[in-house]
Amino acid sequence: MNNTDGLTASEKKILHEFDVHINKAEKRLNDELKQVKIILRELVAQLKDLIKLYRNNYLLPRFLLDNEKSFTRIYGARGYRELLERCTRRGRPRF
């Protein structure tokens, strides 16, 4: 609290309560963001497993190629190439 000299006791109490609520909200937000990161990591791993499971589906290489930007952001360029290699043989789709 800054410069509360001219405030009444009830105004100081209200400001203190605001500070308490804001601090609680910040802590909860940080905790929830950590949970979101954990869930996203799990989803990324599950997506990779799902792609491995359906690697023989003839539509999967097309899906990977159409969504190259997204997969590159998720797995990086090297990870994206590895996914493509799992679905293709020598650069050609597995049919």
d(CA 15, CA 1): 7
* Whole-number Å distance between alpha carbons of 26 and 11: 23
Q: What is the pLDDT of residues 6-44, one digit of tens each?
A: 899 999 999 999 999 999 999 999 999 999 999 999 999
Which pLDDT band holds residue 2 (cuts at 50, 70, 90)?
low
Give the pLDDT score at 1: 45
Angle CA 20–21–25, to nearest 5? 120
| pLDDT single digits (tens) 35-73 | 999 999 999 999 989 888 888 888 888 899 999 999 999
Q: Is the pLDDT assigned to residue 95 strictly greater than 90?
A: no
